[in-house]
Amino acid sequence: MSNLLTISSKEDIPLEYRDTPIGLLLEYHNLERPFETYTNAQLLVGMCMDNRKHLHMPDNFAFIIRTGGANLRHSEFKVSFALSVGGVHSIALIGHTQCRMVNLISYKKQFIEGLVKNAGWSEEEAEEHFEHFAPMYEIGNESDFILSEVKRLRLRYPKVLVAPLMYRVEDNHLYLIKEN
């Protein structure tokens, strides 16, 4: 993933994000900035439901929506709630390496067998479920999907700062995804 910007110091954070909740998230997670105390969320984090990711940040710092592939298309009311009622003005959309929402078709057999064994579904019901929903949740390439979702969110919420980030499972660090 050559389109990732490494954040190893505060100076690595682009000016548009520095001294914003996005920049603070990068400082807390990557740079071990000492935690401050928060009573209100400062940003909304949209990230994948994958269990291998854990963000290093203070309590009460962020609303977090976890969905497969960090796909917020079906969580828009929750996004709107965090912005309107929660009062946040920034969104960190975080994809991650090794995401299983990429190439979903490769999981079809395991998906069907798992629903039959673990959930008591018939094979036919499980296959129909997969066929119906897999196209909605397939994200393709992680970086490309995050960039397209960031673009969509920026158009939907033009006053909100939206940043495309990538969590590398290999080193547990956050990276900014470079935009063209």
- The structure tokens listed for 118 are 């673990």
| Amino acid in position 75 | S
CA distance 82 to 100: 27
Predicted confidence (pLDDT) at residue 68 exceeds the cutoff of 80? yes
- The answer to whether 23 and 17 have CB atoms below 8 angstroms apart is yes
Same-domain pairing of 53 and 125: no
Give the H/E segment covering residue 175. strand 173-177
- What confidence tier does 175 reach under pLDDT thresholds 50, 70, 90? very high
**Which residue range forms the structural domain that includes residue 126?**
103-138
Number of domains in the chain: 2
Span 112-147, pLDDT tens digits: 999 999 999 999 999 999 999 999 888 888 999 999
- The answer to whether residues 75 and 156 belong to one domain is yes
Structure tokens at 146: 């995050």
State whether 83 and 123 are in the same domain: no
Alpha helices in the chain (DSSP H): 21-31, 76-84, 108-119, 123-137, 142-156
93-119 tens-digit pLDDT: 999 998 898 888 999 999 999 999 999
Average pLDDT of every residue of the chain: 95
* Domain CATH number, residue 35: 3.40.1050.10
**Do residue 48 and residue 109 come from a single domain?**
no
CA distance 54 to 77: 24
Instruction: Tell whether 35 and 76 lie within a shared domain.
Output: yes
The tokens describing 135, both together, are 């196209």
pLDDT exceeds 80 at position 2: no
Q: In the chain, what percentage of residues exceed pLDDT 90?
A: 87
